[in-house]
Chains A and B, each alone.
Chain A
Amino acid sequence: MKNKHVDELIPDYLDGSLKGEDLRKMEQHLAECPLCQKELEEMKLLFSAFREDQIEVPSERLKAQFEKVLETEISNHGQVIQLQPQRKGNNWSNTFLKVAASIALLVASFQMGSVFQQQKANKDIALLQEETLQMKQTAMLSLMENQSASKRIQGVSYIEEFESPDEAIIKALGNRLLYDENDNVRMSAFDALAKFTSSESVKNILIEALEKEKNPSIQVAIIQALVQIQEKKAVKPMQKLLDQEDTQPFIKEQIKAVLPSIT
């Protein structure tokens, strides 16, 4: 045991953690080994130095810096946390987009539907307009046969609804102009026909009417219309009117004035 140094047990001895046998052997050895006593002295010094030495406390600055760093770290971490709600927002907008898209789809399909409906309605309206035009024509033709002169005139004035009246209408108007007993109906029929003097059948009706007509107002109106379109066939009935005794003087004047312009 003499030769055996106890240097490795010194820290435990100093700590007081050596007990019983170990402690007795240690004290025995220390008493007879000067080397180990020296070692113990050194160790004691070291230990006291440890004990005396103050625990290093981090400075305020360090603390502040650390907290700053921590803060940034936290804030960085916070950003990550913030990302989550952002992503949630994205989800919401996604949902919103989806809802919007479905609404748009709904609206679009509704619009499409209504467009188709509209087209159909337009077709229907066109059909209806055609029908009303036909109905108007029927109404016009039947009104022109009415007992009341005012109703016949109303029928005649329906001509305004027709841009290009067919032969049936022209013929009905012609019959009014040629055969109606009421002067005002004949006058109105003339007014209606005068808008279509480019039609050959209208020209013929006017010439026939000029030969038959006794009312000077209508005579002068027909003469003016026929002169306006330079209708050569009007010359003969006009000369006939000049020769007739019962022709009003002002009609004769009128004929004399316009005859040179078409002969």
Chain B
Amino acid sequence: MRKSIFIIAALLVGTLAKAQTDYTKSLSGIEWVKIESKTDITVKTHSSNELLIKSGPEVKTPERAKGLKLVGEGGPDNTNIGFSVVQDGNTLIVHNLRKSKGAEIYLPKSQNLSVKSTWNGDIDIDGFSGEIEADAQLNGSVKITNVNGPVTANSLNGTLEVVFGTVKQDSPITLYSTNGVVDVSLPGNTPANLSLSTLNGNLYTDFDIKVTEKDGMKSYLGRKVNAAINGGGVKISMKSVNSNMYLRKK
């Protein structure tokens, strides 16, 4: 009898603990999930049609905060794990309110996704087939791997690295960084129209780039290369103002 009470208690504690670190929300009717965070954010895919936030090891709420709620610029913590999740029309807005410790977020593979890092957080996105927008506004880096859909990514000081799976959509891909390195891997047979420009950096690639500059017109942004690979196709635009660019065959 004592033993079973102990087991039940342990299970209860376990579920409570789980409830504290995981948060799920159904994604029916949601087209876009927008995530904003100051700290590291890792976004991965899972098979169920819901948002799952794993906030990792529990963050101790300060003694003085007992009975109080965490409030950030994204709104009050309505998840009990330091996140604010608000639905706005067909968009789900997810704010990481904590300023330390990263989080892992799981979403279905085809989800359209927009991730913004407003401070030092690194963005790591893996395995999506929907549209992806990533913006590291200050010092964070962006790493996007195994994606097919259109990617719109920007970084200020961090590295911007994208590894594409098969690219077959027609929406343009734009990868811009001001001070960070732009490093892109594409399958060698991707049909694309490339527009590559760097002001103070250099461009390195193993693609066979034939320059198709219009009537010898010089771009305003210094050194700009327009080229078609594999007969031309999706528009891929890469820019780095102050760093090198690397375009690799995968």
Contact A184 B241, beta carbon cutoff 8 Å: no
Contact A184 B152, beta carbon cutoff 8 Å: yes
Question: Of A147, A148, A151, A217, which contacts B176 at CB under 8 A?
Answer: A217
Contact A221 B220, beta carbon cutoff 8 Å: yes
CB distance from B202 to the nearest CB of A (A): 16
- Cβ-based interface call for A211 (8 A): no
Contact B174 A154, beta carbon cutoff 8 Å: no
Contact B241 A225, beta carbon cutoff 8 Å: no
Task: Give Cα distance in the complex from A187 to B237, angstroms.
Answer: 11
Chain B residues near A250 (CB-CB < 8 A): 200, 241-242
Task: Give Cα distance in the complex from A24 to B129, angstroms.
Answer: 154
CB distance from A226 to the nearest CB of B (A): 10
Given contacts A148-B171, A188-B174, contact A216 B241 (CB under 8 A): yes
Given contacts A184-B176, A216-B178, contact A150 B171 (CB under 8 A): yes
- Residue on A nearest B135 in the bound complex, by CB: A183
Contact B156 A216, beta carbon cutoff 8 Å: yes
- Cβ-based interface call for B68 (8 A): no
Number of inter-chain CB pairs below 8 Å = 79
Task: Give Cα distance in the complex from A248 to B151, angstroms.
Answer: 26
B122-177: which have CB < 8 Å to A? Answer: 131, 133, 135, 150-154, 156, 170-174, 176-177
Given contacts A150-B171, A153-B152, A220-B241, contact A183 B176 (CB under 8 A): yes
How many residues of chain B have a CB within 8 Å of chain A?
33
- Residue on B nearest A147 in the bound complex, by CB: B32
Chain B residues near A217 (CB-CB < 8 A): 176-178, 239, 241
Task: Give Cα distance in the complex from A224 to B150, angstroms.
Answer: 29
- Cβ-based interface call for B229 (8 A): no
B58-98: which have CB < 8 Å to A? Answer: 91
Identify whether the interface residues of A are mostly helix, strand, loop, or mixed: helix
- Residue on A nearest B170 in the bound complex, by CB: A154
Q: C-beta contact mask, A233-252 vs B, less than 8 Å → 1, else 0? A: 00000000000000010100
CB distance from A221 to the nearest CB of B (A): 5
Chain B residues near A187 (CB-CB < 8 A): 174, 176, 239
Task: Give Cα distance in the complex from A220 to B156, angstroms.
Answer: 13
Task: Give Cα distance in the complex from A78 to B91, angstroms.
Answer: 105
How many residues of chain A have a CB within 8 Å of chain B?
25
Task: Give Cα distance in the complex from A224 to B200, angstroms.
Answer: 14
Contact A148 B241, beta carbon cutoff 8 Å: no
- Residue on B nearest A194 in the bound complex, by CB: B220
Task: Give Cα distance in the complex from A220 to B221, angstroms.
Answer: 8
Chain B residues near A185 (CB-CB < 8 A): 152
Task: Give Cα distance in the complex from A217 to B235, angstroms.
Answer: 20
Task: Give Cα distance in the complex from A248 to B200, angstroms.
Answer: 15
Chain A residues near B170 (CB-CB < 8 A): 154
Contact A220 B199, beta carbon cutoff 8 Å: yes
CB distance from A163 to the nearest CB of B (A): 13
Task: Give Cα distance in the complex from A217 to B180, angstroms.
Answer: 11
Contact A154 B171, beta carbon cutoff 8 Å: yes
Chain A residues near B174 (CB-CB < 8 A): 150, 153, 184, 187-188
- Cβ-based interface call for A149 (8 A): yes
Contact A157 B235, beta carbon cutoff 8 Å: yes
Contact A147 B31, beta carbon cutoff 8 Å: yes
CB distance from A65 to the nearest CB of B (A): 91
- Cβ-based interface call for A182 (8 A): yes
Question: Of B91, B178, B199, B239, which contacts A147 at CB under 8 A?
Answer: B91
Give A residues with C-beta under 8 Å from B.
147-151, 153-154, 157, 182-185, 187-188, 194, 215-217, 220-221, 224-225, 228, 248, 250
* Interface contacts beyond A184-B176, A216-B178: sample of 4 additional A-B pairs, CB < 8 Å, sorted by A: A150-B172, A187-B176, A188-B174, A224-B220
